[in-house]
Amino acid sequence: MEYVFLGRTGLKVSRICLGTMNFGPYTEEAESFKIMNRALELGINFFDTANVYGNMWDAGGVGNTEKIIGKWFAEDKSRRNKIVLATKVYGNMGSAPNESKLSAYHIKKACEDSLKRMQTDHIDLYQMHHIDRNTPWEEIYQAMEQLVKEGKIIYVGSSNFAAWNLAEAFYKAKERNFLGIVSEQSIYSLRNRQIELEVIPACKNFGIGLIPWSPMGGGILCGVLEKAKEGRRMREPLQKSVEKLRPQIEAYENLCKEINLKPADVALAWVLNNPVVTSPIVGPRTVDQLNENTKTLEIKLSGDILKKLDEIWPGPGNQAPEAYAW
């Protein structure tokens, strides 16, 4: 396993991040335990979750994924200090007015609830799951600073932030002599390349680690034209996307066959090829899928293959404003 620094910190994380979103809805507890055990064996020390995972489309299921991780920690307490544990705050955790977003009130309660569910005394990377346009940075950072002082969190991260959000957060933290955001978790894949315009340049400039989520395009880049029998690939929204993007998907899967690589492996290798990327998140449903994901670290795509992938899945062509101005 390879390890890299998380943004401008001295913290080293594995080049692959274990995503746990499937734990609960699609992967039962016993298999989830096996996946986490195997991750440790493979040298993966970076685990990502969120308080809303479990079934984020059903408020009755939120928190279940964190509970599964907590039971895994309880089974062997030595596991906790072997990983960098990341979770998130923002999502709707109930029907009361203050059970979502980034008020200091909610941040404090959400953190304490996550700690209880995961049966741990601290979170290594506490990520804001989305930008909250109604809560000032002074309030957000006051809450985060207090959690750091109490030893309940160590680092602060973001997810789904625009570049200007990252810039504002960076300078607001600097005013307070606070480390501020050290990582951004953003959607990024061959299928979704918008962040090349501004988010990736911002991460590079401010020393913010980039943690891509959905590096396989939500299943689009996983050989989706093969008949799926289970899992998230069977969901109706994905099937609609397949029909919309069928010509590109066919060209992509044909290219993968030509170079004798699986589509999912090519997709992940492409994301890893970007020097700004810290650790893409993989969300395996099985141990076999995790083993396959990890092997991708050995794949090096040639310049010719990268060019062909750009032709099939074109990005903006450059960062802003060069991408659209002289």
DSSP 173-205: HHHTT---EEEEEEE-SSS--GGGTTHHHHHHH
53 catalytic, yes or no? yes
Quote the radius of gyration of the chain (alpha carbons, Å): 19
Given the residues 53, 90, 155, 252, select the one marked as catalytic. Answer: 53
Structure tokens at 96: 């009361």
Half-sphere exposure of 319 (CA within 13 A, CB side): 9
Residue pair 88/62 in contact by the 8 Å Cβ criterion: no
Query: Taking the CB of residue 84, how many other CB atoms lie within 10 A of it?
Result: 21
Residue 228 CA, chain-centre distance (Å), reads: 24
Choose among 88, 84, 80, 79: nearest CA to 6: 84
Instruction: Determine the distance from the C-alpha atom of residue 86 to the mean position of all C-alpha atoms in its chain, rounded to a whole number.
Output: 10
Tally the C-alpha atoms within 13 A of residue 267's C-alpha that lie toward its C-beta.
31
Report the residue count for the chain: 326
**Number of helical (H) and strand (E) elements in the chain, helices listed first:** 10, 10
Active site amino acids: 53
